[in-house]
Chains A and B, each alone.
Chain A
């Protein structure tokens, strides 16, 4: 498999997405608090070696599209104290994202 091989991006800025709720073993860069949450794609950052593979000295190919996804704080934390407009952006790899419901 060539080192430059990358999976094609599936989402575009503005697309509603949901982070998969999963608990696989190993080196995961999707924080627990965001799993299962719904957000909107802010931008496509490019394609990067899959860290879940790279951490174990595997090639990390095909490279995974990486997105910045924006979430509403008051949807993530039921006890969030702050205006409804507050947000949090995270970088999420495509294989952790599913199409979300249009909001």
Chain B
């Protein structure tokens, strides 16, 4: 059972000199909500509603999702105009076509163009298209990003190395409710000869959140 930090009590006699001070055995803080999570999880398991194996499997399935899935979707849209049309019209169905399960939420695909640059944030919490991108980066969940992305998006973009000229509209999407957002970045120049899987390599997680452009081919 997890307990708050306490110095461990057993005497240090391992038949040799005492080891130098190590990190405490419990190196995490048991906050109110963590304690609540542990308590509810243990109760559900004790009462047979779910098993520890169910919890482990759900975590494994979540961790198996990665931005590589989103990159495949983008690369297909870059190479197949009919697919792109379907992707913009009905994202969940188009993603399912590629054998990717988009998850319970309705996805909206936001196309970057020479006139519009899209940027995604969730000011209320940390809603993120986990079904196609996996877990969000820590900065996406930070209060700094969440508050600044709506108020000074161009300054935030600049800090990510993304300079958007004034004639391009910056369109922020605050993911406040039941939609999840995936940015379809612009296809980089000089990428005409690349295969679909080579193109997918250029599609970074950040380019699908909108804080960066897709990578240029090397």
Contact = CB atoms under 8 A, between A and B. Distances in A.
A31 B106 contact: no
Contacts of A66: 177-179
Given A81-B154, A82-B154, A83-B166, A30 B176 contact: yes
Interface of A: 29-31, 33-34, 45-46, 48, 51, 66, 68, 73, 77, 80-83, 85-93
Nearest to B178: A48
B174 A93 contact: no
Contacts of B152: 80-82
B124 interface: yes
Contacts of B167: 83
Contacts of B176: 29-31, 90-92
A88 B178 contact: no
Given A33-B150, A81-B155, A82-B154, A88 B179 contact: no
A85 B168 CA distance: 8
Nearest to A32: B123
A29 B123 CA distance: 10
A33 B124 CA distance: 11
Contacts of A77: 151
B141 interface: no
30 contacts: A30-B176, A31-B124, A31-B174, A31-B176, A33-B151, A45-B177, A45-B178, A45-B179, A46-B106, A68-B108, A73-B170, A77-B151, A81-B152, A81-B154, A82-B152, A83-B169, A85-B169, A86-B169, A86-B172, A87-B169, A87-B170, A87-B171, A87-B172, A88-B173, A88-B174, A90-B174, A90-B176, A91-B175, A91-B176, A92-B177
A84 to B, nearest CB: 10
A28 B151 CA distance: 20
Q: Which 3 residue pairs across A and B have the least CB separation, nearest first?
A: A91-B177, A88-B172, A85-B169
Contacts of A33: 123, 150-151
Select the residue from B108, B173, B174 with max chain A CB neighbours within 10 A: B174
A39 to B, nearest CB: 12
A93 B177 contact: yes
Select the residue from B108, B150, B175, B177 with max chain A CB neighbours within 10 A: B177
Contact of B124 (A29, A46, A73): A29
